[in-house]
């Protein structure tokens, strides 16, 4: 059974950093892309970025809104993907989801999602 479980959320002060983890099971992490998507309170979904499959060199891509501040990585030996968030702002407050791309060819089609982890940026 495919599962993704996010962790690492919590309360953090503006300007600080936080690393979220996405523990995966039921599939080989390097064979699928993993995207991070967030949802601010009462708002819609915002795609943040992804890490591509091994076939695509494991490269990363980011939305303009977070490029340069957020970075995505993975540890295939642990089946965990990470979202490193730096220089956090109050507007980064949101539920953060990780989601799996459905195949190596269709990395943006998100077929399985975690339940999310809440990040609150506040002083």
Partner 1 sequence: DIVMTQSPDSLAVSLGERATIKCKSSQSVLYSPNNKNYLAWYQQKPGQPPKLLISWASTRESGVPERFSGSGSGTDFTLTISSLQAEDVAVYYCHQYYATPLFTFGPGTKVDIK
Q: Is 82 in the site for partner 1 (CB under 8 A)?
A: no
With beta carbons less than 8 A apart as the criterion, state whether 106 and 52 touch: no
d(CA 45, CA 80): 22
Closest approach of Cβ 108 to partner 1, in Å?
3
Count of CA atoms in the C-beta half-sphere (13 A) of 115: 3
CB of 1 to partner 1, least distance (A): 14
92, 94, 97, 119: which one contacts partner 1 (CB under 8 A)? 97
Q: Does 62 contact partner 1 by CB under 8 A?
A: yes
CB 81 within 8 Å of CB 24: yes
Q: What string marks each residue from 2 to 31 as x (binds partner 1 by CB under 8 A) or -?
A: ------------------------------
């Amino acid at each position: 059974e495919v599962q993704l479980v996010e962790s690492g959320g919590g309360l953090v002060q503006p300007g600080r950093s936080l690393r979220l983890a996405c523990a995966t099971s039921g599939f080989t992490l390097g064979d699928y892309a993993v995207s991070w998507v967030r949802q601010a309170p009462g708002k819609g979904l915002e795609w943040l970025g992804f890490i591509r499959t091994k076939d695509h060199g494991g490269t990363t891509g980011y939305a303009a809104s977070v490029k340069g501040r957020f970075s995505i990585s993975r540890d295939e030996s642990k089946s965990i993907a990470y979202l490193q968030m730096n220089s956090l702002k109050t507007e980064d407050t949101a539920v953060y989801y990780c989601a799996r791309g459905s195949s190596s060819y269709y990395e943006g089609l998100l077929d399985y999602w975690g339940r999310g982890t809440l990040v609150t940026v506040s002083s």
